[in-house]
Amino acid sequence: MTTVGVDIGGTKIAAGVVSEEGKLLESTQWPTDPTSPEVIEDGIVSAVQNFARTYDIEAVGVAACGFVGADRSTVRFAGNVAWRDHPLGQILSERLSLPVVVENDANAAGWAEFQFGAGREVSDMVMMTIGTGLGGAIIVNGKLVRGAFGGAGEIGHMVAVPFGHYCGCGHEGCLEMYASGTALTRAARSREISEPTYMGGVRTYAGDRSKLRGQDVTQAASDGDEAGLELVSHLGYWVGRGAASLAAVLDPELIVIGGGVSRAGDVLLEPARRSFKENLFAMENRPLAPLVISTFENDGGMIGAGDLARRD
Amino acid sequence: MTTVGVDIGGTKIAAGVVSEEGKLLESTQWPTDPTSPEVIEDGIVSAVQNFARTYDIEAVGVAACGFVGADRSTVRFAGNVAWRDHPLGQILSERLSLPVVVENDANAAGWAEFQFGAGREVSDMVMMTIGTGLGGAIIVNGKLVRGAFGGAGEIGHMVAVPFGHYCGCGHEGCLEMYASGTALTRAARSREISEPTYMGGVRTYAGDRSKLRGQDVTQAASDGDEAGLELVSHLGYWVGRGAASLAAVLDPELIVIGGGVSRAGDVLLEPARRSFKENLFAMENRPLAPLVISTFENDGGMIGAGDLARRD
Amino acid sequence: MTTVGVDIGGTKIAAGVVSEEGKLLESTQWPTDPTSPEVIEDGIVSAVQNFARTYDIEAVGVAACGFVGADRSTVRFAGNVAWRDHPLGQILSERLSLPVVVENDANAAGWAEFQFGAGREVSDMVMMTIGTGLGGAIIVNGKLVRGAFGGAGEIGHMVAVPFGHYCGCGHEGCLEMYASGTALTRAARSREISEPTYMGGVRTYAGDRSKLRGQDVTQAASDGDEAGLELVSHLGYWVGRGAASLAAVLDPELIVIGGGVSRAGDVLLEPARRSFKENLFAMENRPLAPLVISTFENDGGMIGAGDLARRD
Amino acid sequence: MTTVGVDIGGTKIAAGVVSEEGKLLESTQWPTDPTSPEVIEDGIVSAVQNFARTYDIEAVGVAACGFVGADRSTVRFAGNVAWRDHPLGQILSERLSLPVVVENDANAAGWAEFQFGAGREVSDMVMMTIGTGLGGAIIVNGKLVRGAFGGAGEIGHMVAVPFGHYCGCGHEGCLEMYASGTALTRAARSREISEPTYMGGVRTYAGDRSKLRGQDVTQAASDGDEAGLELVSHLGYWVGRGAASLAAVLDPELIVIGGGVSRAGDVLLEPARRSFKENLFAMENRPLAPLVISTFENDGGMIGAGDLARRD
pLDDT of residue A80: 80
CB contact under 8 A, D251 and C282: no
Read off the pLDDT of each residue in D236-255 and give the average, rounded to a whole number. 98
Distance CA C27, CA D74 (A): 49
CA D302, D306, D311, D312 dihedral sign is positive
Smallest CA–CA separation between C167 and chain B, in Å? 19
Cα separations in angstroms, B92 against B28, B46, B74: 18, 11, 11
Residue-level pLDDT at C168: 93
Quick check: A210 pLDDT over 90? no
- Say whether pLDDT at D32 is over 90: no
Q: By percentage, how much of chain A surpasses pLDDT 70?
A: 100
Mean of all residue pLDDT scores within chain A: 96
Residue A9, pLDDT score: 87
Per-residue pLDDT at A312 exceeds 80: no
Residues B290, B304 within the same domain:
no
Under 8 Å between Cβ of B15 and B46: no
Q: Are C202 and C228 in contact (CB under 8 A)?
A: yes
Q: Which of residues 112-141 of D touch C (CB under 8 A)?
A: 122-124, 136, 138, 140-141
What secondary structure letter does DSSP report for B288? Answer: P
What gap in Å lies between CA A64 and CA A92, rounded to an integer?
A: 13
Are A57 and A194 in a shared domain?
Answer: no
For residue D227, give the chain A residue with the closest CA: A278
Instruction: Give the per-residue pLDDT at D11.
Output: 86
Query: Are residues C185 and C53 part of one domain?
Result: no
Question: What pLDDT is attached to residue D148?
Answer: 97
DSSP structure string for chain A: -EEEEEEE-SSEEEEEEE-TTS-EEEEEEEE--TT-HHHHHHHHHHHHHHHHTTS-EEEEEEEESSEE-TTSS-EEE-SSS--EEE-HHHHHHHHHTS-EEEEEHHHHHHHHHHHHSTTTT-SSEEEEEESSSEEEEEEETTEE---TTS-TT-GGGSB-STTBPBPTTS-BSBGGGTSSHHHHHHHHHHHHHH-TTTTHHHHHHHSSGGG--HHHHHHHHHTT-HHHHHHHHHHHHHHHHHHHHHHHHH--SEEEEESGGGGGTHHHHHHHHHHHHHH-TTGGGSPPPPEEE-S-SSSHHHHHHHHHTT--
Tens-digit pLDDT profile for residues B81-107 = 889 999 999 999 999 999 999 999 999
Q: What is the largest CA-CA distance in chain D?
A: 61
Q: Per-residue pLDDT tens for C31-69?
A: 988 899 999 999 999 999 999 999 999 999 999 998 999
Residues of chain D contacting residue A284, judged by C-beta atoms under 8 Å apart: 194-197
> DSSP label at D251?
-
User: According to the model, what pLDDT value does residue D210 have?
Assistant: 84
Amino acid type, C304 = G
H helices within C266-310, ranges in order?
266-279, 300-308
SS3 for C23-39, per residue?
A: CEEEEEEEECCCCCHHH
Based on the domain organization, do D105 and D250 belong to the same domain? no
| pLDDT of D195 over the 90 cut | yes
A151 interface with C at CB cutoff 8 Å: no
| pLDDT, averaged across chain D | 96
Asked if D245's CB is within 8 angstroms of C159's CB, the reply is yes
With CB atoms and an 8 Å threshold, state whether D250 touches C124: no
Residue C189, CB-side half-sphere exposure with 13 Å CA sphere: 17
Given strand C291-293, what is the order of strands in its sheet? C143-144, C134-140, C125-130, C254-258, C291-293
pLDDT at D208: 82
Closest to D249 in 3D by CA, of C80, C259, C85, C135: C135
C171 at A interface, C-beta within 8 A: yes
Q: Within this chain, do residues C135 and C57 fall inside the same structural domain, yes or no?
A: no
Model pLDDT for residues A26-74, shown as the tens digit of each residue: 999 999 888 999 999 999 999 999 999 999 999 999 999 989 999 999 9
A31/A76 same-domain check: yes
Decide if C171 touches D, using CB distance below 8 A: yes
CB contact under 8 A, D278 and A195: yes
- Count CA atoms closer than 13 A to D239's CA, side-chain side: 40
Which pLDDT band holds residue D63 (cuts at 50, 70, 90)? very high
Contacts of C230 (CB under 8 A, 6+ apart): none
Distance of CA A90 to the CA centre of its chain: 24
Q: What is the pLDDT of residue B119?
A: 98
User: pLDDT digits over D108-162, tens only?
Assistant: 999 999 999 999 999 999 999 999 999 999 999 999 999 999 999 999 999 999 9
CA distance A51 to chain B (A): 35
**Which residues, in sequence order, are CB contacts of A102 under 8 Å at separation 6+?**
A61, A62, A63, A64, A68, A72, A73, A74, A75, A88, A89
Does A89 have pLDDT greater than 80? yes
pLDDT band at D82 (very low <50, low <70, confident <90, very high): confident
A82 pLDDT band, cuts 50/70/90, is confident
Distant-in-sequence, close-in-space partners of A156: CB < 8 Å, separation ≥ 6? A133, A134, A135, A136, A174, A175, A176, A179, A180, B248
| Residues in D touching B186 (Cβ below 8 Å) | 166
Q: Which one-letter amino acid corresponds to residue D212?
A: L
What is the rounded distance in angstroms from the CA atom of residue A212 to the CA atom of residue A202? 8
A80 & A127 share domain: no
Co-location of D51 and D186 in the same domain: no
Residue D116, domain member (yes or no): no
Cα–Cα distances in Å, from A36 out to A72, B141, D235?
Answer: 21, 35, 54
Instruction: Determine the structural domain holding residue D84 and report its residue range.
Output: 2-111+299-308
Query: How crowded is residue A142: how many other Cβ atoms within 10 Å of its Cβ?
Result: 11
- Residue C138 has a pLDDT of 98
Q: Is B40 within 8 Å of B8 (Cβ atoms)?
A: yes
Query: Which residues of chain A does D187 touch, with a Cβ-Cβ cutoff of 8 Å?
Result: none
Measure CB to CB from residue B170 to each of D162, D169, D191 and give the nearest one: D191
Q: What is the pLDDT of residue A11?
A: 86
Across the interface, whether the CB atoms of C195 and B283 are under 8 A apart is answered: yes
CA dist B65 and B78 (Å) reads: 6
- pTM for the predicted model, two decimal places: 0.96
Interface of A with D in 262-301 (CB under 8 A): 277-278, 283-284
- Is any Cβ of chain B less than 8 angstroms from the Cβ of A172? no
CA angle centred on C224, ends C223 and C225, rounded to 5°: 100
How many residues make up chain C in this entry? 312
Provide mean pLDDT across the span D59-67: 95
Q: How many helices (H) and strands (E) does chain B have?
A: 9, 13
Q: Do D62 and D44 touch, CB atoms closer than 8 A? A: yes
* Four-CA torsion C102, C105, C110, C111, nearest 10 degrees: 20
Which CATH number do you get for residue D20? Answer: 3.30.420.40
Give the mean pLDDT of C141-161.
97
Each residue's pLDDT tens digit in chain B (312 positions)? 899 999 998 889 999 999 999 999 999 999 988 899 999 999 999 999 999 999 999 999 999 998 999 999 999 988 788 899 999 999 999 999 999 999 999 999 999 999 999 999 999 999 999 999 999 999 999 999 999 999 999 999 999 999 999 999 999 999 999 999 999 999 999 999 999 999 999 999 988 888 899 999 999 999 999 999 999 999 999 999 999 999 999 999 999 999 999 999 999 999 999 999 999 999 988 999 999 999 999 999 999 999 999 987
C105: closest CA among C178, C188, C13? C13
Residue B54's φ and ψ, nearest 5 degrees, are -105, -35
Mean pLDDT for the stretch of residues C163-181: 97
pLDDT confidence of residue C208: 82
Q: What is the pLDDT of residue C203?
A: 94
End-to-end CA distance of chain A: 16
Q: Where are the alpha helices (DSSP H) in D166-225?
A: 181-194, 200-206, 214-222
Containing H/E element for B230? helix B226-250
Chains C and D: how many Cβ contacts under 8 Å? 149
Helix (H) / strand (E) containing D137: strand D134-140
From chain D, the residues in CB contact with B173 under 8 A are: 163
pLDDT of residue D261: 96
Please judge whether B186 and D166 are an interchain contact, meaning their C-beta atoms are less than 8 angstroms apart: yes
pLDDT at position B32: 87
Chain B residues near residue A145 by CB distance under 8 angstroms: 140-141, 250
Query: Are C138 and D249 a contacting pair at CB < 8 A?
Result: yes
Position A207 scores a pLDDT of 84
B251 reaches A (C-beta below 8 A): yes
For residue C98, what pLDDT band results from cuts at 50, 70 and 90?
very high
The pLDDT mean for chain C works out to 96
pLDDT number for residue C222: 95
In angstroms, the CA A51 to CA A87 distance is 23
Ramachandran angles phi, psi of B60, nearest 5°: -125, 135
Best residue in A278, A280, A288 for a mutation probing chain D (most D CBs within 10 Å): A278
Together in a domain, D130 and D269: yes
Within an 8 Å CB–CB cutoff, is residue A191 touching chain C?
Answer: yes
**Mind telling me how many Å the CA of A185 is from chain C's nearest CA?**
12
Taking contacts as CB-CB distances below 8 angstroms, the residues of chain B near C277 are 195
Q: How many helices (H) and strands (E) does chain C have?
A: 9, 13
Q: How far is CA B286 from CA A137, A294, B240, B242, C149, in A?
A: 19, 30, 17, 18, 55
Do residues B56 and B2 make contact, with C-beta atoms less than 8 angstroms apart?
A: yes
Q: Which of C163, C195, C278 sits opposite B195 (nearest CB)?
A: C278
Q: Give the per-residue pLDDT at D80.
A: 80
Catalogue the long-range contacts made by D162-166 (C-beta closer than 8 Å, 24 or more residues apart).
D162/A162, D162/A163, D162/B161, D162/C160, D162/C161, D163/A162, D163/B160, D163/B161, D163/B164, D163/B165, D163/B173, D163/B178, D164/B161, D164/B163, D164/B164, D164/B165, D165/B163, D165/B164, D165/B165, D165/B166, D165/B172, D166/B165, D166/B186, D166/B190
Choose among D163, D168, D194: nearest Cβ to B170: D194
**Amino acid identity for residue A279 in this structure:** N
Kindly list the residues from chain B whose CB atom is less than 8 angstroms away from the CB atom of residue A141.
143, 145
* A contact chains, 3+ CB pairs < 8 A: B, C, D
Looking at the structure, do residues B106 and B128 belong to the same domain, yes or no?
no
Amino acid at D116: F
Does residue B288 sit in the same domain as residue B304?
Answer: no
pLDDT level of residue D176 (50, 70, 90 thresholds): very high
- Euclidean distance between CA atoms D289 and D267, whole angstroms: 19
Q: How many domains does chain C have?
A: 2
Angle subtended by helix axes C105-116 and C300-308, to nearest 10: 80
Other CB atoms within 10 Å distance of the CB of residue B121: 9
Q: Cβ of D200 under 8 Å from any chain A Cβ?
A: no
Contact of A241 with chain C, judged by CB distance below 8 Å, is answered with no
Contact indicator for A63, A302 with CB cutoff of 8 Å: yes
| C272 and C209, same domain (yes or no) | yes
> How many pairs of residues across A and C have Cβ atoms under 8 Å apart?
51
C197 with B284: Cβ contact below 8 A? yes
CA distance C71 to D250: 16
Q: Would you call B164 and D161 a contact, using CB atoms and an 8 Å cutoff?
A: yes
